[in-house]
Structure 1
Amino acid sequence: MARQRKPLSVDHSHHKYAKKITHHTEKKNSKVSYWRRGVMIICLAIAGCIGYMGYLETRVNTPFDDQKMVVKTGLAAPDVYWGSYRPGVYFGLKTRDPYSLVSGLMWYFTRHIGADGGGIRHWCEQGDNLDRYGWIEHNGKNFGIQEIQDGPFLITTSFVKRLGGDHGGDWTARIGVTSKDQRLEGEQISFLVYTAVEEKSKGWIKPERVGSHMITGVRGETEGLGPFSIKMFSNVGKVLHESYLSTSAMGLHLLKETVINSLRLATDKQTGKKWISLPGELNSRGPDGKTIEPNFIVTQVTGSVPFEIDVVFESSSVLDHREILRGDVYSKELQKWRDEFHHSFEEKFQLQSKGYSEKEIKFAAAAFSNLLGGIGYFYGSSRVESSHTRGPVPYWKAALYTAVPSRSFFPRGFLWDEGFHGLLISSWDIDMELDIICHWFDLMNIEGWIPREQILGQEALSKVPEEFVTQRNTNGNPPTFFITLSFILKKFGHTLHENGRLDTLERLFPRLQAWFDWFNVTQIGDMPGTYRWRGRDGTTNRELNPKTLTSGLDDYPRASHPNLDERHVDLRCWIALAANTLADLAKLLSRNEQKYVNTFQYLSNNNILDDLHWSPLSQSYSDYGLHTDMVELKKPPPSRSHSHHPAQTAEKIRVVLKDPELRFVDSTFGYVSLFPFLLQLLQPDSPKLGKVLEDIRRPGLLWTEYGLRSLAKSSPLYMKWNTEHDPPYWRAPIWINMNYLVVRALKHYSELEGPYQQKSLMLYNDLRKNLVKNIMKEYYRTGYLWEQYNDKTGEGQGSRPFTGWSALVVLLMAEIY
């Protein structure tokens, strides 16, 4: 019989202990689980924080969106493919390609060249002290004529384009020299005509000579141009000597240095005469010892005055080259474009019908042409930073088609200048201006910010001091493109349905909204309805009054001690203008404009404006902030030196003689005080308008026989240096862009019924006449339009030529506002 299994007995004490262990284990596991969850949450939070910080870090150099403003460029826009798009050199042509073939000119007079290459002209340099230079006729697309007065010699450069083929067509440049002094006939001059390709242009060039009639030329091929040839022919005078250089240059900014390092003194085998000559093929080798293909070819042609050559570019895609664009053929084509230019110039500006003389019209044409001839095409990457980056970072690579303020001193794009340039350019060719606007707004990042100074490419970068290169995303510039757009809407509203212009404005509208929002997020003041320019240095002790570069008015006096309480009247007025323009544009595009109408009504409300910015003491509009007028620049006491070397002299520092207090900056009267009037925010019957008009004409404040000075003589910082090394800039001189806004506002109020209508008209006529008369007088006296004009003598000063916004004199003459 099977044995029966005995049932197990239960030990209850052990069961209790087991339950205790199980409970303890579960509790321990629970704690571990909570700990693990906590660690996981912390890790996720850290990862999220790092990710978010990384996201914030990338915002500064992330484009606004994928839809580009520029939809036709390069070969898709053949009529503007080639152009004089190198404003920083005396003469040069390039294409609207990221990496273009470039051509250009250097020259020197044999008896003036130094052993170190001194006397060779290439870059537009103020130090060259040329009597004058600039485009006297230029239509922005097809042709241009430039005159360069180098001592007693007149060098004339011109070009004509001829469309055809698939790669932008052909062009010819004519370069000649003459002198009115017959004793100088026979003087030797060398033209150095060059061609260069950038490293990434995916192309090649080689020197070429065909037959005895032609000077050494170039043949080559690039991705954008396909196969091409450049030939040179002598027109006037005799070629005394010719040489060439084919080598590799280290960059477009070093072309002149490459030539200087290559010049040799050579002896002609037949005559025994010595010439300054180029060595021909000059191979360069890279770090690996391999020969670097040439990317720079220079043809030096020496002749005796008078002397002239034609440089002919021909695209292989143009099938009919029977009539080469040179000699008489070129002359006829050039004259055709000149006649058309003068016809269009009169049609647009009607100066002849207004009674201007031939000399006055010639001046206006030159001022306007040098603005158009100063339009450049740049490609590269800005350097930017934000509070979230660990230093400067590169912006994305982009192209910029833009006018420049000054070919010599500022041969690059400036955001606030370009709005004024746009008034002139759109008066000439609205589609050209819309193209420029599109290029600028393609530089907007995801935050709605546009870097205010554009330094794109080697040539542009080589002209800028290092401390000005990096752009910070909290800093803006006056949104002057809203002036241009407001002008376009009023003047060309009936044509905006043509040529895809409305489509352009549709694409532009979201970016304008983002730009407007950026100002209203980053530049708002501490009180509702107030605005404050960022970028002022509240810790500096070197500046008498910390600069406000972002306002465009640089050293114009603001509150002496920058802080959060500041409010800037000019910025409030700019935002009001922007809101009004957006409202008008929204209405045109059938969008809801109410938000912008409401904003404009609030910001232009004269009662609120007066509460925030009208000083009861000075009876003028002004900034508000922590301020004292009692500041000076003084040398600090010399420090004791414990060495045998004498102590270095310390730089002057700011000394505050009286503590600042929160107040209106009303002891300062100048351009900023006029802004509610300048941007036409004042009601035509406002007593404040009457006071502004009275102050404009009051002796000793702003009025001069040459225009309105930037700062009243009664202001504490009138003509004061801002540092030991920085002379006054916006502290007296007469600036044409601001005077244009004054004249424009006077015209506006002279056409509105009210108690100040007649006074506005009288001031309008007097100020406009003074400006035009003085600018023209200085042009014929000095050969230039200037950056600014002396408030005591009317003499031009600052950089030259400054045919950026100083060319607004043309619109003053034409009475176009």
Structure 2
Amino acid sequence: MRLITNKLALLLVLVVSCIAKETAQKTFSSKSRSEEENIFEQNTNSELLWAPYRSNCYFGIRPRYIDETPFIFGLMWFDTTEFDAMTRLRHFVSDDDHMERFTWEAYDPRLGGKENIIDPENNLNLTIYFAKTHDDSNWVVRVSGKPLDTARNTTTSVVMYMNQNIGPDMQNGQSRLIHISNTDNNENENSLEFTGMSEDLGKYEVLINDNHGKYYTNDTLESIEVVPGCNASRTSHVGLTIPDHEVWRARDVFQSLLTDSIKDIVQVTGEKVEPGLVPSILTLRNLHNFDQGNFHYVQKTFDMREETGFEFDIVYNNLDSKETIDSGKQATLLIDDALHEVNVRFDNHFNIDETDGDKRKFAMEVLANLLGGIGYFHGTQVIDRETVLDEDQFESIKFEHFREEGPYSLFTSVPSRGFFPRGFYWDEGFHLLQIMEYDFDLAFQIAFSWFRLIDEDGWVAREVILGPEARSKVPQEFTIQSPQIANPPTLLLALSEMLTKLIENENNMAFVAGNKMDIEEEEGITSQLGSNFDYIIKYSKIIYPYLERHFKWFTETQKGLIEEYMEDMEDDEKFAKVNQNFVYKWLGRTVTHCLPSGLDDYPRAQPPDVAELNVDTLAWVGTMSRSMKDIAHILELTKDETKYAEIEKKIVENLDLLHRSEKAKTYCDVTLDDEGDEEMKYVCHEGYISLLPFALKLMPRDSPKLIDILTLMSDPDKLFSPFGLRSLSKQDEHYGEGENYWRGKIWLNINYLCLNALEYYFPEVLTGSHEKSALNDKHTSELAGKLYTELRNNLINNVYGNWEKTNYIYENYDPTDGHGTGSVQFAGWTALIVNILRG
């Protein structure tokens, strides 16, 4: 049975038990580790070993944490009835492919799932199933395709490729992948069998078997074998050797080999080719007489003139497993079981009323696509540790002193498989706010993977782009990372949210020293993980230094200059109370952009000044302080808890003392007035930056300024819209101008934080009772309740409505008519709509 837990009290256990894979082995002997810990690690590593972790591919499999000799699998396809077919060869997810749909309908990396792709240009409705055996050692991929229109007389040529990486020690390595035969007892020439050996994975076999489907034929021709080996009526196989670091170029290599074959055919047969032979001409053959290596292409070309289409299975069996998959019927049972269990798990966590339209299907697909974007990346990172930012010019910096460092590994979800298939520090905390509601263990496996990237100085890259495959999807100017550039520390936001709940429930938690926790059991799922408070304490001490270093790095590199204001502001009574050591700015902003803030083109002070201080940087440091305070509390580090509590207190004070404009009644950046006597002036652009002190729960619960925040959010002429809160006030001079990325568009991440903050400050909004509460007067409570209800409904209706019309969720939404904009299938923080829908 698969191990799942979702108790809040397990939070730190989940994080640190992951860390035990490396760090704890150095700190504690195996004899000192509890039986429960060993069970947890073994189950987690097994359950999460195999999945479609190649997020950038429409479908691609690799194992997690197998870095030297992984087995790699990928899928491509195209319609081969026309000579220009290779321009429609699908492999990496791309918005330019104009897919009508590419969607995980149900998915859990522990279990498996179902992905549906509708490709109009290739006349294909493709469904891919993935399921694992209960011991998690073996898996099956079922590829099922049907034509969208049988009258178009198309084919579907599916190209599979697989490689057993040799590893860096190519001389002594024993890893191999060998094609045994094309037959199953000489009965089916289209069934293939491979045997493999990996130093990390052991011995295994790969079987490829058809379930049904008609291969391409043409009754008007005597033969469709245009030259020996080029015959679309049977499965084609070519084995060769490709260096491990070039396997990701499988599409390019395939196109190159096929081009060579076509040129040879033209020389042999002449340029005039019978149209009925085109599918055979576009069938790969071993033209160059390659010796069989570890890399293999398998190509199947099906006639799509019948509605039944085709279906075949790819089975991976570890030969040491007792649960090998040996038949199509057995594969069907595994797939059905996995899909059933995914549905049960979803309903256990998200009880969504199906009577309200098709909201359950919508929510399940959105969550599935977030989970389906989880990838495992391994490789080098390009870093420039020498170039110093010129803070006076505010021009774009050219990082020219870079080098590759690593290799590193990252287990992460991605914002968008088609446009952003890599790790984003800014996005990941929001992803975890969603994932942890479904699977705590999984969420903190991901969190740990990020924590372990924190270097000795405390820095972690804002974009983690590991290896050439990940870099191939990134514009060159964004591949180089600088240790001077920060990003909003949303991982600590997620950690802070969970620690806050843990502390609030501390007296009610079902554990005491020496006693195991009660672990929730779900249908078909039993957890074997138990723990006690001492266990949590022990491993919390392991994670704590990572976070300390990161806090120190962030607050030192992003520290602002207060000295510039001192002379002209010394007589200002309010300014005199400012905590001068706790002021911050984003290092690395330019005249037009502040990429470190995550709110790229959100309007800032013009012209920029070295003395600029940013309210959002300060607010994020407040979140970090709160998180550090909470974990210090868990560890009973009283001195540290007091230290971070004092920092948090000073930051909260500075939000009002330094960044609150009483005239504008909002929070603003500040800078020097270059037109007057260089006194401090507020730079007020009402929008998401103004809301962050509220959204991050840094305002006191009894603050009289809460009413100003509610008024701003509720104003339809400023932030409130029928589709969600605008990122910038409709009345701002920069609204909708320029790049128009964070200048009015509606983003789910900040909208989610605002809804969550409304629940925090006005808990009565969840009960519907708006009588005078302990914290707020009746008028304020009623305003909060109305805002909460309308904002929640607007967000749900708009994201759901776009999905109904287009099959997709989007990066952001237009504030005028609500249509989706930016990257399609942006199942990153937009997936927070599932949390919002559940309420």
Report TM bin, short chain. 0.7 to 0.9
**Counterparts of 1:549 and 1:662 in 2: how far apart (Å)?**
27
More displaced stretch, 616-625 vs 271-280: 271-280
2:80 aligned residue: 110
Amino acid at match of 1:754: N
2:392 aligned residue: none
1:84 aligned residue: 52
**Counterparts of 1:627 and 1:153 in 2: how far apart (Å)?**
61
Q: Secondary structure at the match of 2:824?
A: coil
Correspondence for 2:321 among 318, 323, 341: 318
- 1:594 matched to 2:642: yes
Taking a change above 3 Å as real, the CA distance of residues 568 and 280 of structure 1, as seen in their structure-2 partners, is same
Amino acid at match of 2:58: Y
Alpha-carbon contact 1:130-1:150 (below 8 Å) kept: yes
Q: Secondary structure at the match of 1:564?
A: coil
**Counterparts of 2:77 and 2:729 in 1: how far apart (Å)?**
46
**Counterparts of 2:584 and 2:548 in 1: how far apart (Å)?**
18
Q: Secondary structure at the match of 2:455?
A: coil
Amino acid at match of 2:776: G
Instruction: Map 1:112-261; keep pairs closer than 5 Å.
Output: 114=84, 117-151=86-120, 153-164=124-135, 169-179=137-147, 181=149, 183=151, 187-198=154-165, 200=167, 202=173, 203-208=175-180, 209-211=182-184, 212-213=187-188, 214-240=190-216, 241=233, 242-249=235-242, 251-261=246-256
2:556 aligned residue: 521
Q: Which has the higher contact order (CA 8 A, sep 6+)?
A: 2
2:224 aligned residue: none
2:472 aligned residue: 462
- 1:535 matched to 2:505: no
Deviation at 1:758, TM superposition (A): 2.3
Taking a change above 3 Å as real, the CA distance of residues 405 and 94 of structure 1, as seen in their structure-2 partners, is same
More displaced stretch, 326-335 vs 187-196: 326-335
Alpha-carbon contact 2:133-2:334 (below 8 Å) kept: no
Taking a change above 3 Å as real, the CA distance of residues 617 and 112 of structure 1, as seen in their structure-2 partners, is farther
Deviation at 1:618, TM superposition (A): 1.9
Deviation at 1:356, TM superposition (A): 5.3
1:739 aligned residue: 751
Amino acid at match of 1:800: V
- 1:426 matched to 2:436: yes
More displaced stretch, 554-563 vs 736-745: 554-563
Alpha-carbon contact 2:749-2:829 (below 8 Å) kept: yes
Q: Any idea what the Cα deviations from partners look like across 1:746-795, whole Å, max 9, x if unmatched? A: 12222162132221121111001000110011112111111111111111
1:351 aligned residue: 352
Using the size of structure 1 for normalisation, the TM-score is: 0.80
Q: Secondary structure at the match of 1:138?
A: strand
2:339 aligned residue: 338
Q: Any idea what the Cα deviations from partners look like across 1:431-454, whole Å, max 9, x if unmatched? A: 111111111111111111111110
User: Gapped runs of 5+ residues in structure 2?
Assistant: 1-18, 27-37, 217-232, 389-399, 512-516, 518-528, 563-579, 764-773
Instruction: Map 1:545-624; keep pairs closer than 5 Å.
Output: 545-592=591-638, 593-605=641-653, 608-624=654-670
1:368 aligned residue: 367
Correspondence for 1:797 among 788, 796, 821: 821
Instruction: Map 1:603-752; keep pairs closer than 5 Å.
Output: 603-605=651-653, 608-626=654-672, 663-721=680-738, 727-751=739-763
Taking a change above 3 Å as real, the CA distance of residues 555 and 333 of structure 1, as seen in their structure-2 partners, is same
Alpha-carbon contact 2:435-2:443 (below 8 Å) kept: yes
Deviation at 1:661, TM superposition (A): 5.8
Taking a change above 3 Å as real, the CA distance of residues 274 and 111 of structure 1, as seen in their structure-2 partners, is closer
Amino acid at match of 1:329: Q
1:101 aligned residue: 71
Taking a change above 3 Å as real, the CA distance of residues 70 and 409 of structure 1, as seen in their structure-2 partners, is farther
Amino acid at match of 2:376: Y
Q: Any idea what the Cα deviations from partners look like across 1:345-373, whole Å, max 9, x if unmatched? A: 11112113xx6536110000000001111
Correspondence for 2:788 among 746, 761, 764: 764
Using the size of structure 2 for normalisation, the TM-score is: 0.78
Alpha-carbon contact 2:132-2:334 (below 8 Å) kept: no
Taking a change above 3 Å as real, the CA distance of residues 199 and 412 of structure 1, as seen in their structure-2 partners, is farther
Instruction: Map 1:7-18; keep pairs closer than 5 Å.
Output: none
Taking a change above 3 Å as real, the CA distance of residues 677 and 699 of structure 1, as seen in their structure-2 partners, is same
Alpha-carbon contact 2:623-2:696 (below 8 Å) kept: yes
Q: Secondary structure at the match of 2:128?
A: strand
**Counterparts of 1:225 and 1:768 in 2: how far apart (Å)?**
47
Q: Any idea what the Cα deviations from partners look like across 1:246-274, whole Å, max 9, x if unmatched? A: 223461331101111222457999x9886
**Counterparts of 1:804 and 1:424 in 2: how far apart (Å)?**
9
Alpha-carbon contact 1:192-1:299 (below 8 Å) kept: yes
Q: Any idea what the Cα deviations from partners look like across 1:192-234, whole Å, max 9, x if unmatched? A: 1110234636422233323332423432222122222211111
- Taking only aligned residues, the RMSD between alpha carbons, in angstroms, comes to 2.9
Taking a change above 3 Å as real, the CA distance of residues 448 and 248 of structure 1, as seen in their structure-2 partners, is same
**Counterparts of 2:44 and 2:496 in 1: how far apart (Å)?**
29
Taking a change above 3 Å as real, the CA distance of residues 524 and 495 of structure 1, as seen in their structure-2 partners, is farther
Larger radius of gyration: 1
Amino acid at match of 1:304: D
Taking a change above 3 Å as real, the CA distance of residues 315 and 411 of structure 1, as seen in their structure-2 partners, is same
Amino acid at match of 2:156: I
1:474 aligned residue: 484
Instruction: Map 1:429-508; keep pairs closer than 5 Å.
Output: 429-491=439-501, 494=509, 502=536, 504-508=539-543
Deviation at 1:564, TM superposition (A): 2.9
**Counterparts of 1:613 and 1:135 in 2: how far apart (Å)?**
44
2:10 aligned residue: none
Q: Any idea what the Cα deviations from partners look like across 1:620-661, whole Å, max 9, x if unmatched? A: 110012478xxxxxxxxxxxxxxxxxxxxxxxxxxxxx8996
Amino acid at match of 1:506: K
Alpha-carbon contact 1:451-1:471 (below 8 Å) kept: yes
**Counterparts of 1:626 and 1:737 in 2: how far apart (Å)?**
31
Deviation at 1:504, TM superposition (A): 4.6
Q: Secondary structure at the match of 1:676?
A: helix
Deviation at 1:391, TM superposition (A): 1.5
Taking a change above 3 Å as real, the CA distance of residues 319 and 621 of structure 1, as seen in their structure-2 partners, is closer
Taking a change above 3 Å as real, the CA distance of residues 349 and 81 of structure 1, as seen in their structure-2 partners, is same
Taking a change above 3 Å as real, the CA distance of residues 597 and 330 of structure 1, as seen in their structure-2 partners, is same
Q: Secondary structure at the match of 1:728?
A: coil
Taking a change above 3 Å as real, the CA distance of residues 272 and 671 of structure 1, as seen in their structure-2 partners, is closer
**Counterparts of 1:404 and 1:438 in 2: how far apart (Å)?**
16
**Counterparts of 2:592 and 2:819 in 1: how far apart (Å)?**
28
2:225 aligned residue: none
Taking a change above 3 Å as real, the CA distance of residues 334 and 671 of structure 1, as seen in their structure-2 partners, is same
2:3 aligned residue: none
Deviation at 1:467, TM superposition (A): 1.1
Amino acid at match of 1:569: V
User: Gapped runs of 5+ residues in structure 1?
Assistant: 1-63, 285-290, 538-544, 629-657, 722-726
Instruction: Map 1:271-282; keep pairs closer than 5 Å.
Output: 275-281=280-286
Amino acid at match of 1:204: R
Deviation at 1:615, TM superposition (A): 1.7
